[in-house]
């Protein structure tokens, strides 16, 4: 049965145009072609990335956070309470009012004490500012290096300037060592992101992030199998062109450099929209959907690759919506925050009680009309 499934999976008609076989892509005359077995190296490389990331975050990102004065907020811990902890772990982190009243009777706490306990307990589970900074630093470093390396790989190639060259001679296109390592490193990195996603900072678009990582891994792997390497290098470099800007904006945001963060974010938003909503669909996807049909009839691999491109493009539209929302906040003078992040909840039970006696308070002090903002 395994042999039968294996034969069906690697059937040439799934991966290659008509009248071509895997034998046509065997290395010969000094020309090397992409092979599925090449990708085995990406799994050990992914684990190596996880080790390098740990060392980077410990010995580079953490000292950098200290230099940029990244400070943690003091979080009040929830007092141990078996009844509330059990409900928090098994039922809900956000109890309804009826649940709060029920828990109040069971635990012997007042309603406000139960509400305060859940606020503090949720804040305990939120990632620390240092964790966010370290993660952003690692991704910024990789995406910047990957973008520079990607441009070095493709900038001197004819298909960088003329997209019809992407398909010239397809699929009998040999692979250069620079293309090989660019693919292996990019794919290994996305495997490492998928492996660490459970322990990374969880955002509101957690499910979309998983879909993105899986779709990216499938696209990179498939484009290697089917020798869509030229198109693949263009797509990877295009994506890396804006990602490092977003991560650098996050770093400055966590460090409290609001003006720098906002300025970088505006540049990121412009680059993201131009590359993901203009260049990708109207140039790259046009190249992968239209030009191949001039050379060979559509086959399963053609449909599959372009379907995955549509999945990625749908995610880009979703993220562009979040980016535009953040840009609107910037234009209206509000501090730019990551729309995907959960905000820390304030422990304001005592403050609510004081409002009745003394009027509005902020952190135990009267609210002042203070519009000063921290600048660089």
Give which of 343, 201, 341, 326 is closest to 262, Cα–Cα.
326
Structure tokens at 169: 């001679």
Q: Which two tokens stand for residue 26?
A: 């065997």
Q: What is d(CA 147, CA 20) in angstroms, rounded to the nearest whole number?
A: 34
- Note the pLDDT of residue 154: 95
Domain 82-125: homologous superfamily in CATH: Homeodomain-like (1.10.10.60)
- Say how many residues make up the chain: 376
3-state secondary structure of 361: strand
How big is the chain by its Cα radius of gyration, in Å? 26
Question: Which residues, in sequence order, are bridge partners of residue 362?
Answer: 365
Give the pLDDT of residue 45: 97
In sequence order, the 6+-apart residues with CB closer than 8 A to the CB of 148 are none
pLDDT at 333: 63
Q: Would you tell me the crossing angle of helices 129-154 and 42-56 to the nearest 10 degrees?
A: 130
Note down pLDDT in tens along the chain; length 376 residues.
Answer: 777 887 777 888 788 888 788 888 888 888 888 888 899 999 999 999 999 999 999 999 999 999 998 877 777 777 888 888 888 888 888 888 888 888 888 888 888 988 888 888 888 778 888 999 999 999 999 999 999 999 999 999 999 999 999 999 888 889 999 999 999 999 999 999 999 988 887 777 678 888 888 989 999 999 998 889 999 999 999 999 999 999 999 999 999 898 899 889 999 999 999 999 999 999 999 999 999 998 888 888 899 999 989 998 998 999 999 898 887 776 776 555 555 555 555 555 444 333 333 443 333 333 333 344 333 3
3-state secondary structure (DSSP) of residue 362? strand
Domain ranges in the chain are: 28-68+128-332, 82-125
Q: What is the pLDDT at residue 47? A: 97
Burial 181-193 (b: 16+ CB within 10 A, else e): ebbbbbbbbbbbb
Residues 64, 41: Cα–Cα separation, whole Å: 32
How many Cβ atoms sit within 10 Å of the Cβ of residue 198? 9
- Separation between Cα atoms, residue 340 and residue 132, nearest integer Å: 13
In sequence order, the β-bridge partners of residue 28 are 31
pLDDT at 356: 35
Q: Do residues 127 and 344 lie in contact, with contact meaning Cβ atoms separated by under 8 Å?
A: no
Quick check: 34 and 229 in contact, CB under 8 A?
A: yes
CB 65 within 8 A of CB 58: no
Strand residue runs (E) in 225-368: 361-362, 365-366
Predicted model pTM: 0.79
């Amino acid at each position: 049965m395994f042999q039968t499934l294996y034969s069906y999976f690697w059937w040439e008609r799934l991966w290659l145009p008509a009248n071509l076989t895997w034998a046509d892509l065997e290395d010969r005359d000094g020309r090397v072609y992409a092979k599925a077995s090449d990708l085995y190296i990406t799994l050990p490389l992914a684990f190596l990335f996880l080790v390098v990331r740990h060392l980077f975050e410990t010995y580079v990102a953490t000292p950098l956070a200290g230099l940029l004065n990244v400070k943690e907020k003091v979080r009040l811990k929830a007092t141990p309470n078996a009844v509330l902890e059990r409900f928090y772990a098994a039922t809900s982190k956000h109890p309804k009012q009826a649940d709060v009243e029920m828990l109040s009777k069971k635990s012997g706490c007042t309603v406000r004490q139960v509400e305060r306990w859940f606020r503090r307990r949720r804040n305990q589970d939120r990632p620390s500012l240092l964790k966010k900074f370290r993660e952003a630093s690692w991704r910024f470093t990789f995406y910047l290096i990957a973008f520079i390396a990607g441009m070095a790989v493709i900038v001197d190639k004819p298909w960088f300037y003329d997209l019809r060259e992407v398909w010239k001679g397809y699929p009998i296109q040999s692979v250069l060592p620079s293309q090989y390592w660019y693919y292996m490193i990019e794919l290994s990195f996305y495997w490492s992101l998928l492996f660490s996603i459970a322990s990374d900072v969880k955002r509101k678009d957690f499910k979309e992030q998983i879909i993105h990582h899986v779709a990216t891994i499938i696209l990179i792997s498939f484009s290697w199998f089917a020798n869509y390497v030229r198109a693949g290098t263009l797509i990877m470099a295009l994506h890396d062109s804006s990602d490092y800007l977003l991560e650098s904006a996050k770093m400055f945001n966590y460090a409290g450099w609001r003006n720098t963060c906002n300025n970088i974010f505006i540049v990121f938003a412009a680059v993201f929209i131009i590359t993901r909503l203009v260049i990708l669909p109207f140039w790259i996807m046009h190249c992968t959907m239209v030009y191949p049909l001039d050379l060979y009839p559509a086959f399963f691999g053609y449909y599959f690759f372009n379907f995955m491109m549509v999945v990625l493009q749908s995610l880009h539209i979703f993220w562009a919506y979040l980016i535009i929302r953040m840009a609107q906040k910037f234009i209206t003078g509000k501090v730019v925050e990551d729309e995907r992040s959960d905000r820390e909840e304030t422990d304001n039970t005592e403050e609510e009680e004081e409002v009745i006696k003394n009027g509005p308070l902020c952190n135990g002090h009267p609210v002042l009309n203070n519009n000063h903002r921290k600048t660089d």
